[in-house]
Structure 1
Amino acid sequence: MKKVLKKVMALALAAVLTIGTAVTSTAAAPSPTTGKKPVNQIADTDSKGNNTKSPVYTVRTYDTGRARIIGAATIKENVTVPNYVKVNGVKYRVTSIGAKSLKNWKSVKKITLSKNIKTVHNQSFKSCKSLKTIVVKNTKNIWFSPDTFKGSNTKKMTVKFSKKMSKKTYAKMQKRLRKIGFKGKITRG
């Protein structure tokens, strides 16, 4: 009798776990991506749900809930790269600026990188002739590729890191920017 009761309880528990897993997996938010393959999308809105008139970002979204800016068009002089973008109603955290994605922003004078940005890829700021200031809100290490500023006159630029960034991290960031050939002013605060 005990053996039969144990088998019935085990089957009942397995059924509950199977049904519970199925319900949980169908309740997850849909993603416009399929599998681990990235999908290029145009961001519908900014992180606050507002329509993005300028700049308009093209992003690559990933199943991990993150996005990379891979293209952008703007007519503004001061631009803030958002913390989040919405694509097809799904919110993604913007963690990187893709290669050549912000190139030729000839009228942009100031770019603010959100606190989520961890990577700035090759030639992101290529030929940004009017760019004078880059504000970095992230307080941790950011990886700048060796060709981030290729085609731009960095002697007239200033990179401002968050005043909340530790002195040790700030020193690493200064060293990294100098190593990749940035000749402008680097400040914190």
Structure 2
Amino acid sequence: MTVRVLILPGLYNSGETHWQSHWERQFSGLLRVEQQDWETPIAADWVERLNDVIAADESEVVLVAHSLACTLITRWAQHYSNSRQVRGALLVAPSDTEAASYPPGTQGFTPMSTERLPFPSIVVASNDDPYVTPARAEAFAKAWGSELVWLQKAGHINGQTGYGSWPQGVELVRRLTGESQFTT
């Protein structure tokens, strides 16, 4: 059975230069979970949308999240029992929605979840991300039961910081999916 890979952008969606967009063009079978409101999201709406997409069929999924979508995954996992369909999650640049540096306009994404995820996960964090301190990124990874991968001077790990096709991330997706197409 093929694993479905769900692309979960964060606040404002992921633009054309973002690694999530590169991967959608480069690999087959990736599905971006489109949210109704990318600018002023409400957590409950995003959680419901994610659940609808996961529940659309019985396939196993790997969740590939950036920024606010990392928080989305933790919220979804707290509320839905179909997390058994999730083979794993790649949580890149988790934003600290409780931090003063976090952009205003979101609703329901605080407090940050510190519950262990019921599936394997990998957190990728940068030592100079403007939206999460290294200490908080490490605390989130530990609380979620995630493997932690550090990048140095990678900012928010997006298109603006040079993370276009991002081969290291592709390798992490291969580890979670077991799919040979994710070979760099």
Give TM-score, length-normalised by structure 2. Answer: 0.38
Higher RCO structure (Cα 8 Å, ≥6 apart): 2
| Bigger helix fraction | 2
Larger radius of gyration: 1
Give TM-score, length-normalised by structure 1. Answer: 0.37
| Bigger strand fraction | 1
